Amino acid sequence: MNNKIGVHMLVFTAGFSEKDLDYAIGTAKEIGYDYIELPLLNPYAIDVDLAKKALQSHNMQAVCLLGLSFDTDISSDDPDVRQNGQKLLWKALEVSAGLGAWYLGGVIYSAMAKYLKPATEENRKYSAEFLAQLAEKAKSHGIKIGIEPVNRYESNLVNTGRQAIEFIKLSGSDNIFVHLDSYHMNIEENDQSTPVHECQDYLGYVHINENHRGYLGSGSLDFTSLFHALADIKYTGPIAFESFSSAVISEDFRSSLAIWRDLWTDSKDLASRAKTFIDNYLYAAYRNKQ
């Protein structure tokens, strides 16, 4: 089991002040995580030197994630909107490189929002063509680009693992990978194991979420099937715990993700139990394959 295990910064804090960074990164390190996910919701506002200093002081690695808005949708029919999104993603890549991150992903192919009509082939083409350019530049920094399929209420472009593979093929890039998330898989896929097997040659990142984004094991997701599928394909890539509560996230992010309930309030307890949960499921799944 060589998987690096990470945790999303929004489990701990929504801020990027020195105090916030020290708390989130330090607590993640103390619990035993290998890296932390930094949300670049506004990459222009990130103090790269401050964040890098915090990472180095705790000997922690980072990856970067973000979601686009309707104003920065690179799949849009409006060329000005696409240009806004391209500018944002170039900045996100610059910040990721400055932080020494080895991964940049998320909903970076469309707006992370509910669309009122299906995506067109032109929308897919706009997005795939630009992300191929971004991925090529990212390669020079040692950064992989991830496409995270999300549920129908958060994108109309990529909702399943199969669609992510089709998107990657359309881009023609060898530096774009599939980023599966158990929360979104629960809504859009037939089960938790099939997409893992289907994406075997493209899978580069995995998010572990409960169906209600609360404590792992307190919901209805079939984690046994998911982890056994990862063991089946001998997946050795990163696995990260992601969970959101209105007790931590910003009002804007809460609204965009429809986080209306506090499923947890104790960040450290949540993250500690999640780390143990993931470790135990990984051990059991891989042990079963020996």
* Residues annotated as part of the active site: 148, 242
Q: Check: CB of residue 66 under 8 Å from CB of residue 90.
A: no
- Contact in structure between 177 and 205 (CB atoms under 8 Å): yes
Where b means 16+ CB within 10 Å and e means fewer, 156-188 reads bbbbbbbbbbebbebbebebbbbbbbbbbbbeb
Residue whose C-alpha is closest to residue 244's, from 43, 96, 37: 37
Phi, psi for 143 (deg, rounded to 5): -110, 130
Contact call for residues 186 and 153 (beta carbons, < 8 A): no
Using DSSP bridges, classify how beta strands 35-39 and 5-8 pair: parallel, antiparallel or unpaired. Answer: parallel
Cα dihedral: 88, 94, 99, 103 (round 10): 70
Rounded to whole angstroms, the Cα distance separating 115 from 272 reads 36
Phi, psi (rounded to 5 degrees) for 168: -60, -40
* Buried/exposed 58-87: b ≥16 CB within 10 Å, e otherwise: bebbbbbbbbbbeebbbbbeeeebbebbbe
Distance CA 193, CA 199 (A): 10
Question: Quick one: angle between helices 121-139 and 161-171, nearest 10?
Answer: 70
